[in-house]
């Protein structure tokens, strides 16, 4: 799957510079060499994401909505952006923001959506990314009593009992 995505991205990159009728082997090789820097970026992203997930320190974040106040404990190195119906827990990497976790309001509680985090870890080739995301979720859920536990979280906790 990852190889197919990479090939698609390479061909999109190539076709954005050349028309299909003018592609030859030497230009294709040049484009591949230009894309070799991607592996270095991938390794750097992998290191930053693993550090973020395994980070033990939290800081307190206070969120005010109309007449209600909420307190969260979120990992250091993350920031919170909010839109109308959700909060985005974001990791700032110095170049751009990478969306990691959505917090959706359900009554007075919040639901964690870590799908984009799982996708980033998968694309960065992080080993055992699913269990690392579950550990990350467990740390957040243990620290924040206003987050909703899902079935996957309950099953993960049972493994440690």
* pLDDT, tens digit, 9 for 90 and up, residues 103-147: 888 888 888 888 888 887 888 787 888 888 888 888 888 888 888
Q: Are residues 115 and 142 in the same domain?
A: yes
Predicted TM-score (pTM) above 0.75 = no
For residues 7 and 77, membership in a common domain is answered with no
Q: Check whether residue 91 and residue 32 sit in a common domain.
A: no
**Number of domains composing the chain:** 2
Q: Is 100 exposed, middle or buried (0-12, 13-18, 19+ CB in 10 A)?
A: buried
**Greater model confidence, 155 or 80:** 155
CB 99 within 8 A of CB 88: yes
Rounded CA separation 146/103 (Å)? 11
Assign 20 a pLDDT band (cuts: 50, 70, 90). very low
């Amino acid at each position: 799957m990852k190889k197919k995505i990479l090939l698609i991205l390479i061909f999109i990159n190539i076709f954005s510079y050349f028309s299909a009728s003018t592609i030859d082997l030497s230009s294709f090789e040049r484009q591949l060499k230009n894309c070799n820097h991607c592996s270095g970026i991938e390794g750097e992203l992998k290191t930053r994401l693993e550090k973020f997930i395994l980070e033990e320190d939290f800081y307190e974040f206070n969120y005010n909505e109309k007449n209600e106040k909420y307190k969260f404990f979120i990992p250091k190195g993350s920031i919170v952006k909010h839109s109308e119906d959700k909060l985005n827990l974001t990791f700032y990497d110095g170049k751009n923001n990478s969306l990691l976790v959505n917090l959706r309001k359900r009554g007075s509680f919040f639901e964690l959506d870590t799908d984009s985090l799982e996708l980033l870890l998968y694309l960065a080739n992080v080993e055992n990314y699913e269990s690392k995301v579950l550990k990350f979720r467990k740390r957040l859920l243990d620290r924040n009593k206003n987050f909703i536990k899902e079935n996957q979280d309950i099953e993960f906790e049972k493994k440690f009992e």
